[in-house]
Amino acid sequence: MISRIYSRFCQTLPAPEGSKGLLVAFSGGLDSTVLLVLAVQFAREHRLGLRALHVHHGLSPHADAWVAHCEGLCRQLAVPLLVERVQLARGNGESLEAQAREARYLCLAAHLGQGEWLLSAHHQDDQLETLLLALKRGAGLRGLAGTVPSQPFAGGLLLRPLLEVSRAELAEAAASLPHGWVEDESNLDESYDRNFLRQTLIPQLKARWPAMAQTAARSMAICAEQEALITELAEEDWHRAGEGDALHIAPLQALSPARRNNLLRHWIRRQGGEMPSRELLGLLWQEVALAREDANPQLGLKDLECRRFQGRLYLVRPNLVPRHEELPIRVGESVELPDGLGQLSLCLQPEGEGLRLPRADEPLSVRFQVAAGSMLKPVGRVGSRRLKKLLQEYGVPSWQRGRIPILYYGEQVAAVAGLFVCDGFLVPAGGIGWHWQKPEPVEI
């Protein structure tokens, strides 16, 4: 049995020449024990480095014994074992199951080297559980597609080479091995939805329809293909309607409702937002995009807020406030900006336009405000304007005002990041280059 599974395992993995090593997510349970044995053989045959990582969540009174078991087994197999201990917060409103999963993947990401493969023991029956849970949530195609066999992860690849192998096959293979495995008693607790499916519902479904897991896997593969197609379509629409992080409303109005909703979901996903319900997506369109011209509409989407400005939709963090810090900076340095606004860097720039070098009596600083009544004259503009008026002319949304870095020479404004340089501070060459690195949204 183990040899047959190994053959399928090898066929599922990419060409081994593309790997710089293997990291196995190793709980010590039945599934990951079989995975580790397979990975040992694969690594040996292809002369790849192999390590295992066990995460100690501290949730079970047997957790220390599981670590000891994993250490003993890895010694037998000559596999280096990393053990990470994490602390979970009880009673904070988030399920311990979700916290444990997030902590586990953070540990795995921290230890996965550039170009390495992370191997996970998800199998065919896990896919069926995932599908049923997705149906319970009313998920779209992405949720119904289930777990993908390969995806980029932390500079490497996350691979699930057992997705076409049933739990029964893994159990038969594990029974033929001399190593044994640990049993997590929480897997019997049917207060967890996944355990209820595993212990009660899925056995009934498979008793009635023995091929249920295989046929469900085919449906999930079709959903994955359809998801890929609508993602391609959304990318095409994004190129027509997107601008930076914003979405123009006018091109959206020309789309059918289904295609418009597809683009809105794609846009939210690009910004790292959580997928809204169909009802919330309808509110976003009706109450934000189509609100009257003189309104300042906004709609909360969990950790983000949808707002409108000058015919465009934006996703921003809620409760943004103006900043009032004054941060000293020198040429050749970078400064961390407050409240997640990123980093500002200054460097000498021998070629190309840049800011003139400061005089000895002009200490450089980064601020976010100008004195009341100050007038600024951007290079190439006729006449001076107040900063508020300039920000309006440059199309800066109201919630970003007071949050844009402003470079000062002494008490004079030299430049406003990403917008303009003030008259008298620009030189054609041999000056200072500066870069505002904004934090990238995290895709989920």
The continuous run of DSSP H or E covering 389 comes out as helix 387-393
Rounded Cα–Cα distance for residues 147 and 10 (Å): 19
Mapped onto helix, strand or coil, the DSSP state of residue 33 is: helix
**Regarding beta strands 343-349 and 334-336, do their DSSP bridges make them parallel or antiparallel, or are they unpaired?**
antiparallel
Is 27 annotated among the ligand-binding residues?
yes
Sign of CA dihedral 241, 247, 251, 253: positive
Instruction: Spell out the residues 6+ positions from residue 258 whose beta carbon is closer than 8 angstroms to its own.
Output: none
Give Cα separations from 325 to 369, 408, 409 (angstroms). Answer: 9, 12, 16
Q: Which is nearest to 436 in space by CA: 327, 360, 352?
A: 327
List of long-range contacts for 408-413, beta carbons under 8 Å, 24+ apart: 408/364, 408/365, 408/366, 408/367, 409/358, 409/359, 409/362, 409/364, 410/358, 410/361, 410/362, 410/363, 412/362, 413/370, 413/374, 413/376
Q: Which is nearest to 271 in space by CA: 227, 230, 304?
A: 304
Q: Where are the alpha helices (DSSP H) in 80-191?
A: 96-111, 124-137, 141-144, 167-175
Q: What is the largest CA-CA distance in the chain?
A: 84
Give Cα separations from 211 to 125, 151, 205 (angstroms). Answer: 11, 27, 9
Give Cα separations from 262 to 58, 117, 258, 280 (angstroms). Answer: 41, 32, 6, 14
Q: Which is nearest to 142 in space by CA: 438, 444, 423, 428?
A: 444
Is 22 annotated among the ligand-binding residues?
no
Mapped onto helix, strand or coil, the DSSP state of residue 293 is: coil
Q: Which is nearest to 417 in space by CA: 355, 351, 371?
A: 355
Is 91 annotated among the ligand-binding residues?
no
Is 32 annotated among the ligand-binding residues?
yes
Is 180 annotated among the ligand-binding residues?
no
Q: Which two tokens stand for residue 181?
A: 């495995």
DSSP annotation of 198 reads I
* Cβ neighbourhood burial of 44 (10 Å; 0-12, 13-18, 19+): exposed
Strands, E assignment, 265-387: 298-301, 304-309, 312-316, 327-328, 334-336, 343-349, 354-355, 364-367, 375-376, 385-386
Is 31 annotated among the ligand-binding residues?
yes
Q: Binding site residues, as ranges?
A: 27-32
Going by the annotation, the residues of the binding site for ATP are 27-32
